[in-house]
Amino acid sequence: MSLKFSHSAIIVLFLCSFPAILADEEEDPTIKTMEDFSGYPIHEPHSSFQNTVSSLSVDTQSLQKQIDELSTFSDTPAPSVTRILYSDKDVLARRFIKNLMGLSGLSVREDAIGNIFGRWEGYNPDLSAVGTGSHIDAIPYSGKYDGVVGVLGAIEAINVLKRSGFKPKRSLEVILFTSEEPTRFGISCLGSRLMAGSKALANALKTTVDGQNISFFDAAQSAGYTKDEGDLSSVFLEKGSYSAFVELHIEQGPILEDEGISIGIVTAIAAPASIKVDFQGNGGHAGAVLMPNRNDVGLAAAELALAVERYVLESGSIDTVGTVGILELHPGAINSIPSKSHLEIDTRDIDEERRNIVIEKIHQSAITIASKRGANLSEFKIVNQDPPALSDKSILEAMEASSKELNLTHKFMISRAYHDSLFMARVSPMGMIFIPCYKGYSHKPEEYASSQDISNGVKVLALTLAKLSLQ
């Protein structure tokens, strides 16, 4: 990369950004690269800026090959991908990632549950690191881009920076999070939730089993983890471990593609909550029991499902959503009045209080419906009630500046799906970069992101990491 700074421009730049190292200007080999990465257009001549940006080149072909190869570690045939936590295929996929991290010159370590870290040490290693990463587990019959783009893309972002001659001040660290998907143990974002210091989860895992009655610890040990059984406190991150965390991810929605925009800059991640509800009644013969004598809990469930929709709409905000994704009736025969009904309700909002009001209304409604129908509300369990996460202002600025410098169209948006970033936000300033995906498809084999869009995302990530590393 050629430099077109005049000497005085360099001095001005360093007075703005790095007064502490001004004295070493002549000797310090990092100066050249820091000049290139440090500032926003306002600080420097436009031409040099273009040089910086054009020096960031993504090896799109290799990256696509890695995405394709990783997708072959699957328990179902292509094009679908199924990669369940601690399965043989998951272990192989992890080995693949660790190998790539090593090839990129990162020093690799793993914690007790298999969160994997690949570190590129900065020239000021005492400063807290800048983290980036995502997950590679895949729900049954899903696609090959969800999460993967944020792991392989992060490793490639490091390669991009290395090829450009950049030297990080803060260390840069790629993280592969264990089990973002809840498939095996019913717990979403298991790795990041634990990293964020959830003692409740650390305790719950002692008695957690999967659908085959295999305990979490047995499963983890079969994959080579949790050697000192029971104590997961070593997974908790110390506050301040990261000065920033940025996750690259496919949008999993149609907005960017519909609007022809390259980069989504996530301002907030909606707060998810999930609830399990059980009603119990007397059941009975569908012909013999007359209507006044019934306590049909199928209808109780139906009423509650409609109530969920009503309360969500009543919030008055487009950001409030609610879904009854599971509704089961027992015994499930056409000629039998349901004697048990089971609902699972998901509700989310970027405003925690508004979401909690919806949950409270659903609870009151479940009580009222049960008493009106002479049924028993045998369970109303809030499974999780997580707070939303707001992106950090300085990370937003870095992502926006990077998009602009790379001449990529961008828009600010909300992530309505949750990600590991939701939990990283508890221990670090957080930001997320979205790229378009075909028709917004995700969690199915048709999931697709173009090489060009992935490459754009990797460039924005690389430039953002560079800026944050120098802050």
Binding residues for Zn ion, per CB under 5 A? 146-147
- Least spacing, CB of residue 249 vs Zn ion, in Å: 6
Toward Zn ion, which CB reaches closer, 147 or 281? 147
Toward Zn ion, which CB reaches closer, 247 or 303? 247
- Least spacing, CB of residue 374 vs Zn ion, in Å: 44
- Least spacing, CB of residue 146 vs Zn ion, in Å: 4
- Least spacing, CB of residue 226 vs Zn ion, in Å: 24
- Least spacing, CB of residue 136 vs Zn ion, in Å: 9
* Cis geometry, peptide bond prior to residue 19 (ω within 30 degrees of 0): no
How big is the chain, counted in residues? 471
Toward Zn ion, which CB reaches closer, 372 or 444? 444
204-211: list long-range contacts, CB under 8 Å, 24+ apart.
205/232, 206/230, 209/185, 210/184, 210/185, 211/184
Q: Tokens at residue 130, please?
A: 């800048």
Toward Zn ion, which CB reaches closer, 133 or 147? 147
Q: What does the alpha-carbon distance between residue 24 and residue 372 come to, in Å, rounded to a whole number? A: 79
Position 415: which residue type? S
Question: In terms of C-beta density within 10 A (0-12 exposed, 13-18 middle, 19 or more buried), how is residue 415 classed?
Answer: buried
- Which residue is nearest to Zn ion, using beta carbons? 147
Instruction: Please answer whether residues 148 and 106 qualify as being in contact, where contact means their C-beta atoms are separated by less than 8 angstroms.
Output: no
If one counts every other C-beta atom within 10 angstroms of the C-beta of residue 273, the result is 22
Beta bridge partners of 276: 344, 381
- Least spacing, CB of residue 147 vs Zn ion, in Å: 4
Instruction: For the chain, give percent helix, strand, coil, nearest 5.
Output: 40, 20, 35
Pairing status of strand 430-435 against strand 242-250: parallel
Toward Zn ion, which CB reaches closer, 13 or 196? 196
Toward Zn ion, which CB reaches closer, 118 or 147? 147
Task: Pick the closest to residue 285 from 249, 230, 336, 221 (CA basis).
Answer: 336
Toward Zn ion, which CB reaches closer, 66 or 415? 415
- Least spacing, CB of residue 419 vs Zn ion, in Å: 6
Q: What does the alpha-carbon distance between residue 89 and residue 351 come to, in Å, rounded to a whole number? A: 38
